Amino acid sequence: MVAWPELRPSLRRWVLGRPEKPVDPTAGPVQRLAWQLRRLREHAGNPSYRLLARRAHYSASTLADAAKGGRLPSLEVTLGYVQACGGDPAEWRARWKTMLVGPTPSSATRRVIRWPRPSASTASCHARWSGATPGRARWPSSGP
Give the Å distances, CA to CA, from 27 to 70, 99, 104.
11, 13, 18
What's the pLDDT band for 20 if we cut at 50, 70, 90? confident
pLDDT greater than 70 at residue 42: yes
Each residue's pLDDT tens digit, 107-131? 445 555 565 666 666 656 555 555 5
Measured distance CA(68)–CA(105) in Å, rounded: 27
Q: Can you tell me the mean pLDDT for 137-141?
A: 57
The confidence score (pLDDT) of residue 101 equals 75
Measured distance CA(24)–CA(112) in Å, rounded: 31
67 and 31 in contact (C-beta within 8 Å)? Answer: no
Handedness of CA 61, 63, 66, 69 (dihedral sign): negative
CATH number belonging to the domain at 27-101, selected among 3.40.1710.10, 3.40.50.150, 1.10.260.40, 1.20.140.10: 1.10.260.40
Q: Give residue 124's Cα distance to chain centre.
A: 44
Q: Where are the domains of the chain?
A: 27-101
The confidence score (pLDDT) of residue 110 equals 52
Each residue's pLDDT tens digit, 63-100? 999 999 999 999 999 999 999 999 999 999 999 998 77
* Burial class (CB within 10 angstroms; exposed 0-12, middle 13-18, buried 19+) of 82: buried
Measured distance CA(87)–CA(40) in Å, rounded: 7
Entry pTM:
0.61
42 Cβ contact list (under 8 Å, min separation 6): none
The pLDDT mean for the chain works out to 77
The confidence score (pLDDT) of residue 1 equals 45
